Chain A
Amino acid sequence: MTAAPGPPRPDRLLRTIARAAAGAAVVAARGGVRLPRPVDRDLKVVVAELTAEAPDAVGLRLARPDGAPLPPWRPGAHLDVLLPSGRLRQYSLCGDPADRTAYRVAVRRIDAGQGGSLEVHGLLPGTRLVVRGPRNAFPFVVAPAYLFLAGGIGITPIAPMVRAAAARGADWRLVHTGRDLASLPLSERLAGLDPARVIRRADDVHGGVPTAAELLADLPAGAAVYCCGPPAMIDAVRRAVPDGHGFHAERFSPPPVRGGRPFTVRLGHGGPVVEVPADRSALAAVRDVVPDLAYSCQQGFCGTCHVPLLAGATEQDTSAPGRMALCVARARDATPLVVDLGRHVEPCGGSTSPPSSHKVP
């Protein structure tokens, strides 16, 4: 608790502000407190149809069991999909926003992944799922011209944008890249809009992956660049986009923890002990016990979850000395960490939180 310094120069303005604030607090107390009712944002859907979009990509049509309209969305939006196993995955909506009866997603099979895509590929028609959203971390804005760059399954958020740009009569180009023509879902149909505007570029024909300069070769004047694909592609294009062109890429959730070691965090001297597994952050583990703990960027820079560190030593820590960035820092050695959350935590906890999610482009 910081000691209030008191008015440095208690002049008329500050005294007036103090009186007004004191009055407002009294009036607020007289008005009483209303508490909000819980809001359920889960959408219950059923897998209405499965389609093969490519040899290794499956398309899902998700609809409400009673066929009622789904919440509206705009190009670039994605959905949180809670799979039957409890895995939470995010998939871009690739259908038509005007079709309110169903959401469409397309998922590429990743054999060496964490199993989410394999589970999706094993779903049967009629399976019930819970989805949340849609949410848009890739907003599609009005621009005089567009260059759309998609890598493989990265075409999914781009496809509705292409159709919207075409419908709007904008000047647009689409370059869709991938290992071979068979690995380029959705874009064959998009080429039907205007074949001259679509390039489907297969690495096996062109002798390797394209450079950013090649991808940006046909950039219309003043065009906004929309890019979705492997991180290396997004990064290379971002660096190469010339001034005067907006660059748009999706904001992804923080990546899962890799190569971490398990450690323990105690919430205050004498408080509950939280075990942090190798593949989770301290923030995620602490939130199992303190679900309403404030946090934001989950990448260490915004400072919202930086808390006083009372004992122990941390590494990968982006916070100031004497503090710990719960979202990224880990214990340096086997000594348990002790942090101060600024509130009393009952030494029980034990509630479970949803598994960490990570969007696979």
Chain B
Amino acid sequence: MMHVPDDSDRVALNARDVRFDWSQLPVHWIPGEPFATHLLDVLHLLLPEGERWFVRLFSDVLPLVTDPRIAEDVRGFIGQEAMHASSHQSVLDHMAAKGVDTTPYVEQVEWVFRDALGDRDLTGDAARAWSIERAAVVAAVEHITAFLGQWILDARALDTAGTHPEMLDLLRWHGAEEVEHRAVAHDLYMHLDGRYLHRVRSLVLIAPILIRLWARGTAFLLSRDPQPSRPRWRDLRRAQRRGLAPGTFATVRALLAYLRPGYHPSQYGSTDAAVTYLASSPAARAAAARETG
């Protein structure tokens, strides 16, 4: 390994026992912004299945890990991802209770993660190679989620737009934990394999899939809105201009950064910003109170 970072800023990873109450959540939780609301609502449809896939996959590769520190990080990561999945699932359940049937889209997402990206009935070395390849895919996804996490921590426009505080706390708690654990999947992949080509081709595989699924999810939710509409590019550009969606340029730059041979997640995002948010997050504070007692 050419690059041994000073890893003294690593933070011990622990899942937080967060709970959320959606009883007061309006349909458009960014007031007057149906497009931006549904663009971010896709997270609740896309993430639970994706994160459960992370948990299954990392539980399966854990026996291959021979570095106790990486094993410890992976265990912390698994618990955090499990809590992300169940928290987004709670929003999905709330939508269902409100009569928004998301199953046609969610079934497609399930199929992608359970079938296409599942175990594929492989055995022996082929199964192991596919598991490690998918660990590289998770590392690529985690690069994207760390970028989105840092974006949501910094997106002051969501505060000024009057975003529903419970939802903003869910998104920022999640974003902060993504930033906090952003190096785990990369470190795991570098430990298990580490080949550059395998690392970057995973991003080439997964990034278009995620972008297409996200676009489809946004269109799906807009069509199920009380005032149904179709997605338009100018709605996206407007949301981006107002700071309610990540910018195209910043997103492309972040994706390209992953291709750098000396890439390490610690070079992007701020652990301090994540820790600072978690110290004041209502959900994280209530979780800490629950855990002590």
Given contacts A31-B195, A141-B275, A302-B79, contact A7 B133 (CB under 8 A): no
Chain B positions 153 through 196: 1 when the CB is less than 8 Å from some CB of chain A, otherwise 0: 00000000000000000000000000000000000000111110
Q: Which of A190-198, A207-215, A234-242 contacts B (4 or more CB under 8 A)?
A: A234-242
Chain A positions 209 through 253: 1 when the CB is less than 8 Å from some CB of chain B, otherwise 0: 000000000000000100000010011001100011111110100
Whole-angstrom CA separation of A142 from B9 in the bound complex = 13
Query: Are B128 and A33 within 8 A (Cβ)?
Result: yes
Given contacts A6-B115, A32-B129, contact A294 B293 (CB under 8 A): no
Considering the complex, give the chain B residue whose CB is closest to the CB of A143. Answer: B276
Q: How far is the CB of B142 from chain A (nearest CB, A)?
A: 17
Decide yes or no whether B130 CB sits under 8 A from chain A: yes
Given contacts A29-B126, A238-B285, contact A72 B104 (CB under 8 A): no
Most buried by A among B59, B76, B104: B59
Interface residues of B in 98-141 (CB under 8 A from A): 104, 107-108, 110-112, 114-118, 120, 122, 125-126, 128-130, 132-133
Q: Which of B66-74, B229-237, B244-252, B260-268 contacts A (4 or more CB under 8 A)?
A: B66-74
Query: Are B111 and A14 within 8 A (Cβ)?
Result: yes
Query: Are A20 and B193 within 8 A (Cβ)?
Result: no
Decide yes or no whether B256 CB sits under 8 A from chain A: no
Q: Which of A35-43, A170-178, A257-265 contacts B (4 or more CB under 8 A)?
A: A35-43
Query: Are A4 and B67 within 8 A (Cβ)?
Result: no
Query: Are A304 and B14 within 8 A (Cβ)?
Result: no
Q: How many residues of B contact A (CB 8 A)?
A: 73
Q: How far is the CB of A330 from chain B (nearest CB, A)?
A: 19
Decide yes or no whether A91 CB sits under 8 A from chain B: no
Query: Are A9 and B104 within 8 A (Cβ)?
Result: yes
Interface of A: prevailing SS = loop
Given contacts A8-B107, A141-B276, A294-B78, contact A231 B132 (CB under 8 A): no
Query: Are A13 and B212 within 8 A (Cβ)?
Result: yes
Decide yes or no whether B93 CB sits under 8 A from chain A: no
Query: Are A301 and B216 within 8 A (Cβ)?
Result: no
Chain A positions 40 through 79: 1 when the CB is less than 8 Å from some CB of chain B, otherwise 0: 0100000000000000000000000000000111100100
Query: Are A39 and B67 within 8 A (Cβ)?
Result: yes
Decide yes or no whether A136 CB sits under 8 A from chain B: yes
Decide yes or no whether B240 CB sits under 8 A from chain A: no
Considering the complex, give the chain A residue whose CB is closest to the CB of B120. Answer: A25
Q: How far is the CB of B244 from chain A (nearest CB, A)?
A: 24
A residues near B, CB below 8 A?
2, 4-9, 13-14, 17-18, 20-22, 24-25, 27-29, 31-39, 41, 71-74, 77, 97, 132, 134-137, 139, 141-143, 224, 231, 234-235, 238-239, 243-249, 251, 292, 294-297, 299, 301-304
B residues near A, CB below 8 A?
6, 8-12, 14-15, 17, 55, 58-59, 62-70, 72, 75-76, 78-80, 82-83, 86, 104, 107-108, 110-112, 114-118, 120, 122, 125-126, 128-130, 132-133, 191-195, 198, 201, 205, 209, 212, 216, 271-272, 275-276, 279-280, 285, 288-289, 291-293
